[in-house]
A and B are shown apart, each in its own frame.
Chain A
Amino acid sequence: MTPADLSFLARFLKERSGLIIGEDKRYLVDSRLGPVARKAGIASIGELIGKLMRGGDTALAQSVVEAMTTNESFFFRDGTPFTQFTDVVLPQLIAARAIQRKIRIWCAACSTGQEPYSLAMLLEQKAALLAGWTVEIVATDLASDVLERARNGLFTQFEVQRGLPVRMLVEHFTQEGDQWRISPKLRNRVQFRTLNLLRDFSPMGAFDVVFCRNVLIYFDEATKGDVVRRIAKQMPADGYLVLGAAETVMGATAPVRSHPNHRGLFMRTDAPAPAAARPALGTGAAHGATLATPPATSLQSKIAAFRR
């Protein structure tokens, strides 16, 4: 692989998936694309890149893009976002959507499905509270190979032991040899679709909660900003964006800002102040205002009831 090959590949990947690779990622290119070349009967990575330059082979191009993605995921990854989902996000949304009784959740880079299935398990725990509600989980990824695995819902013994409490394993999975399959009930709670975050996703409609974790880290600042901006447009003013553990959105013009009380949760910059931070309405508050905005106490008591 010549320097020219590598710089072509870098441009190709940035354009197709947003992935940024530097000169230091040469070893990664070798180890990821070696198998792709072999499978396609191509003698070397240099030759493989030559084929990409000439264009025309869309299947090969897609395999290269997919091979370069990092798909690692595990159930309840990092813990906190999932606790926040049950303790903060869900109670607020249940209070705020009491009329529509509908919540839409999007996992924007779901890989092999652990993230949406973790959410599905949490929703299952709250099934009694959510009776009569429609809760949609849409899970998307660029790579069709990982989506196929996600749809299959079959996980290795290693995968089900990282982050998944054993009681949930026993409750929601059945053993198939030394692998474990997610129950049809949870499987059917999640809709898996192919989607490239670089492309227009506005037709998917609005989402109350967006999990976009451990994917933006592979993009450059401009791409990351653009994706976050377009995600924010799909969120209602009181929607939540959940980023990966070490991910932030910087800048005065950022479309989202960190939740004042919950690190890792983001809300639209123009979102109303979260209920807990809202000043309590005194007895002197105008009646109209009380009607328009339910007093914090009623929202809070609903939330407290939910947590119980």
Chain B
Amino acid sequence: MKHCLVVDDSSVIRKVARRILEGFDLKISEAENGQSALALCKQAMPDGILLDWNMPVMDGYEFLVELRSLPGGDAPKVVFCTTENDVSYITRALRAGADEYVMKPFDKDIIGSKFAEVGLL
């Protein structure tokens, strides 16, 4: 079973995302900001990360840059999932090593389609 880390400061979004991803047979863990996500990744790299952009303490973009510089940090597939829907954000995320990008609001079909795209489903 593949392991996916859901990083979002909203517990509601984490819950919704967890329910969708568990429906795809993924094992889920959660973090409420980039810093705690990074700590979890240092313990064990997940296969996939669903990543919010705007979060307190450490935002998703900073997290991604840090993650990609860690040993083994290029392995997880990172799917942004954010209300930052401007194309400038998308290109920035891709350049920093994001694999896919979900613009909120999202639903099961969109998450499924993006996770399939990066090979997590």
Residues in A neighbouring B117, C-beta threshold 8 A: 165
- What is B's interface to A at a CB cutoff of 8 Å? 85-87, 90-91, 94, 100-103, 106, 109-110, 113-114, 116-117
Interface string of A169-185 (1 = CB under 8 A from B): 11000110010000000
Check A175 against B86 for contact (C-beta < 8 Å).
yes
A98–B91 Cα gap in the complex (Å)?
Answer: 38
Residues in A neighbouring B109, C-beta threshold 8 A: 162
Residues in A neighbouring B101, C-beta threshold 8 A: 166
CB within 8 Å: A-B pair count: 31
Q: Does A287 contact B (CB under 8 A)?
A: no
| Known contacts A162-B113, A178-B85; is-contact A157 B90 (Cβ 8 Å) | no
Q: Which residue of A lies closest to B117 (CB)?
A: A165
Give the bracket for the number of chain A residues in contact with chain B: 10 to 19
Q: Which residue of B lies closest to A165 (CB)?
A: B117
Interface string of A71-86 (1 = CB under 8 A from B): 0000000010000000
Distance of A152 from chain B, by nearest CB (Å): 19
Q: Does A54 contact B (CB under 8 A)?
A: no
Check B86 against A161 for contact (C-beta < 8 Å).
no
- What is A's interface to B at a CB cutoff of 8 Å? 79, 157-158, 161-163, 165-167, 169-170, 174-175, 178
Which of B87, B110, B116 is A175 in contact with, Cβ under 8 Å? Answer: B87
Which of A79, A166, A174, A178 is B100 in contact with, Cβ under 8 Å? Answer: A166
| Known contacts A170-B87, A178-B85; is-contact A161 B102 (Cβ 8 Å) | yes
Residues in B neighbouring A178, C-beta threshold 8 A: 85
Check A161 against B106 for contact (C-beta < 8 Å).
yes
Q: Which residue of A lies closest to B99 (CB)?
A: A166
| Known contacts A166-B100, A178-B85; is-contact A161 B90 (Cβ 8 Å) | no
A-B contact pairs, 22 of them (CB 8 A): A79-B116, A157-B85, A157-B103, A161-B103, A161-B110, A161-B113, A162-B110, A162-B113, A163-B113, A165-B117, A166-B90, A166-B94, A166-B101, A166-B114, A167-B94, A169-B90, A170-B87, A170-B90, A170-B91, A170-B94, A175-B87, A178-B85
Check B87 against A161 for contact (C-beta < 8 Å).
no
Residues in A neighbouring B91, C-beta threshold 8 A: 170
Residues in B neighbouring A170, C-beta threshold 8 A: 87, 90-91, 94
Distance of B7 from chain A, by nearest CB (Å): 18
A189–B106 Cα gap in the complex (Å)?
Answer: 31
A174–B100 Cα gap in the complex (Å)?
Answer: 18
Residues in A neighbouring B85, C-beta threshold 8 A: 157, 178
Distance of B21 from chain A, by nearest CB (Å): 16
Residues in B neighbouring A162, C-beta threshold 8 A: 109-110, 113
Distance of B118 from chain A, by nearest CB (Å): 9
Residues in B neighbouring A174, C-beta threshold 8 A: 87
Distance of A206 from chain B, by nearest CB (Å): 35
8 tightest A-B contacts by CB? A166-B101, A161-B110, A175-B87, A162-B113, A157-B103, A165-B117, A166-B100, A163-B113
A178–B84 Cα gap in the complex (Å)?
Answer: 11
Residues in B neighbouring A161, C-beta threshold 8 A: 102-103, 106, 110, 113-114
A166–B113 Cα gap in the complex (Å)?
Answer: 11
A96–B79 Cα gap in the complex (Å)?
Answer: 41
Residues in A neighbouring B116, C-beta threshold 8 A: 79
Q: Besides A161-B106, A162-B113, A170-B90, 18 other CB < 8 A contacts?
A: A79-B116, A157-B85, A157-B103, A161-B102, A161-B103, A161-B114, A162-B110, A165-B100, A165-B117, A166-B90, A166-B94, A166-B101, A166-B114, A169-B90, A170-B87, A170-B91, A174-B87, A175-B86
Check B110 against A158 for contact (C-beta < 8 Å).
yes
Distance of A166 from chain B, by nearest CB (Å): 4
Q: Which residue of B lies closest to A157 (CB)?
A: B103
Q: Which residue of B lies closest to A163 (CB)?
A: B113
